[in-house]
Amino acid sequence: MQGAQRPFPAREADPGTGYLFASVALVLAASLLYSRYEKEMADGILALARALLQPLAFLDADYAKALANLANLEPGSRDPAFAMAVLGRVCRPYVFLCLPLLLLLAVRSWRLGVSDVYKRSLGMKELLTANLALAPCIAPILNWPRSILAEPLDSGPWMAARQPLQLAADRNLLILPNHVPGNGGRNTPVPREEILGPDNLALPNSCWLGKAMDGLALDRERAQAVFASQLGPAWEGLEHLPGYLYKFAAALAFFACEEKDAAKALLDSLSLSFRAPQGARPARFDTVAPFWHSARRERPYAIDARIAKDILPKAQRALASDAVQNAMRPHLVYRNLALLALYEAARRKGVLPTAEFIWLRPLNRPLYYLLNNVGRRTAWPEIAGAWAHYEAEKVLAGMDPESLGIAEPQVTEAINALEVALYEEGWISPDRLSDSVARNKKMLGLD
């Protein structure tokens, strides 16, 4: 069966017709103005010619005479054709003055393509500045005193996350086989220079690497103390949080309650107000601009922890909501773990990467890496103890919904994981594995 005919689409107006009518209108308007203001146009052109003759009159007597003749003309006595002829004669010397500039422009236009007009070269700082309005979370990087790429990876506020061997070397967790009692009754740790090179990476030709017998061992007692210290300060309630953490918790609570615009506003305020610490500086004079540098007091990290008065009641309601309280209840012993539970509750409502609060990394490194660990398959060594304790609290909450957390550090899994990682890298010999690890073939990948 023949289908119904579709109607022809309406014909769009031809833009060329509009341009034609506009051109005709301009010609008619110019003709009308010429016929009505002919004498005035001629006087204006002659005035321009006299102005151009002024500098030439100082160079040549003929130009001075021509300028005097033009000055004696009666207004309205000449037509535009005569005025244009005079202007043409006056402009001839200026052609030679403009010729070098025209040649330079011609060379530039020959070397410059059309697309080059719309290109510009941006460094990292300019690129960040251009995108600041779209992503305020990059403000801490932009406002840092130096380029973030110039910061050392092994020290300072932007130090890279520690690897298992680096953590063991930093905290003296690897001990020699022929241990000597000392150092408070502890075993003797291996010297750092025997396992790490000058670049703070594993020493590939270390005498302790890959030994089948009589190698290094993990000091589990010291590791217990190290991982327990990662749990951080005790939880004392939302009202006792530092100002910046209370504002941060309010942003996470807004996110958990699906008020993402309010959460974004608080996170952006924290990012835009963050400033790096400054050392004290006396007043001094310099030979380059700016020449005078006034004295400056020492200043720690600065961040705006204030919450607007119209937002504060909403933030308090969000923090007191069932979604927030139920998420935090099983982890109310340690502050960082309570905030980790709040962050997980926020993440269940949408994407909230730690890049949105990169300022937390130099300001509160343990908390930042704890939050950054959400979604990873393995834990960062420097927060593995806190993560193991958090997982233990989650297991307890599954068995006892009224649980408020665990006070005793549950870091055994972190100690075992560190020992297995160092064993797999070849730093711990098989004969020096602890009994709890050596008996677990699945943990060693032998099952």
Asked if 45 and 82 touch (Cβ cutoff 8 Å), the reply is: no
- Give the tens place of pLDDT for each residue, 357-385: 999 999 999 999 999 999 999 999 999 99
More confident residue, 297 or 425: 425
In sign, the C-alpha dihedral spanning 263, 268, 273, 274 is: positive
Find residue 217's DSSP bridge partners. 175
Q: pTM here?
A: 0.71
pLDDT value, residue 240:
95
Q: Is the C-alpha dihedral spanning 278, 284, 288, 291 positive or negative?
A: positive
Confidence of residue 101 (pLDDT cuts 50, 70, 90): confident
Lowest mean pLDDT among 20-34, 151-165, 205-219, 238-252: 20-34
* pLDDT tens digits along 274-318: 999 888 778 787 776 677 777 778 889 999 999 999 999 999 999
Under a CB-based contact definition with an 8 Å cutoff, are residues 137 and 358 in contact?
A: yes
Distance, in Å, from the CA atom of 372 to the CA atom of 137, rounded to the nearest integer, reads 15
